[in-house]
């Protein structure tokens, strides 16, 4: 059993993925899926809709200011392409996005929400975790299995 704070930084997920990429055993694969099941991940998005009032607020803000939007801001997740395959990218931490992440807004969501978002994009074949550092692909066919894995979080 683990505590949520142990998973919070994304380092456990990163470690398990790195370990799996070096030693592709079923046990380590299951460990990655089990950790992913309990993790929150970062999703890169672009703003697809924002009100004029909110644009004014953001343009007048200074770095580190907290801005509360007046209207709903709509975000669109990025999709990555490799050849003829499309992937829904998620990251174990903001740092794992590297330079790519500078061009995006970032939202943190539980893995279940990320899987739901990936399913909403019919062209994607699954999720890619940490695409630019130590990638791990989770095919859509595994989503139901992940949802049925018992949580490893200690209450």
The reply to whether 39 falls in a domain is: yes
* Residue 134 CA: distances (Å) to CA of 16, 20, 69, 152: 10, 10, 35, 23
The reply to whether 87 falls in a domain is: yes
Q: What is the pLDDT of residues 44-53, one digit of tens each?
A: 998 777 777 8
CA-based end-to-end distance of the chain: 9
CA distance 111 to 147: 9
Under DSSP, the state recorded for 150 is: P
Count of domains for the chain: 1
Query: Is the pLDDT score of 5 beyond 90?
Result: no
The reply to whether 14 falls in a domain is: yes
Collapsing DSSP states into helix, strand and coil, what is residue 133?
Answer: coil
Q: Can you give the length of the chain in residues?
A: 155
Asked if residues 135 and 63 have their Cβ atoms less than 8 Å apart, the reply is no
The reply to whether 59 falls in a domain is: no
The reply to whether 137 falls in a domain is: yes
Q: The domain spanning residue 105 has which CATH number?
A: 3.40.1350
**pLDDT category, 3, cuts 50, 70, 90?**
confident
Which residue range is the domain that position 101 belongs to?
4-48+77-148
Q: What is the pLDDT of residues 95-123, one digit of tens each?
A: 999 999 988 989 999 999 999 999 999 99
Q: What is the pLDDT of residues 52-69, one digit of tens each?
A: 787 777 778 777 777 777
Query: Is the pLDDT score of 71 beyond 80?
Result: no
The reply to whether 71 falls in a domain is: no
> Torsion angle, CA of 37/41/44/45, rounded to 10 degrees?
70
The reply to whether 82 falls in a domain is: yes
The reply to whether 105 falls in a domain is: yes
């Amino acid at each position: 059993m683990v505590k949520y704070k142990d998973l919070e930084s994304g380092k456990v997920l990163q470690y398990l993925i790195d370990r799996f990429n070096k030693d592709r055993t079923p046990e380590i694969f299951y460990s990655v899926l089990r950790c992913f099941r309990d993790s929150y991940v970062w999703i890169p998005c672009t703003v697809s809709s924002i009100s004029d009032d909110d644009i004014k607020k953001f343009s007048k803000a200074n770095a580190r200011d907290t801005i509360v939007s007046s209207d709903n801001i709509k975000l669109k997740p990025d999709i990555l392409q490799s050849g003829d395959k499309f992937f829904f990218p998620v990251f174990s931490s903001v740092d794992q996005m590297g330079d790519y992440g500078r061009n995006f807004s970032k939202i943190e969501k539980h893995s279940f929400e990320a899987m739901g978002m990936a399913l909403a994009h019919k062209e994607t074949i699954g999720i890619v975790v940490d695409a630019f550092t130590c990638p791990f692909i989770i095919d859509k066919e595994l989503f139901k299995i992940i949802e049925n894995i018992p949580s490893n979080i200690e209450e």
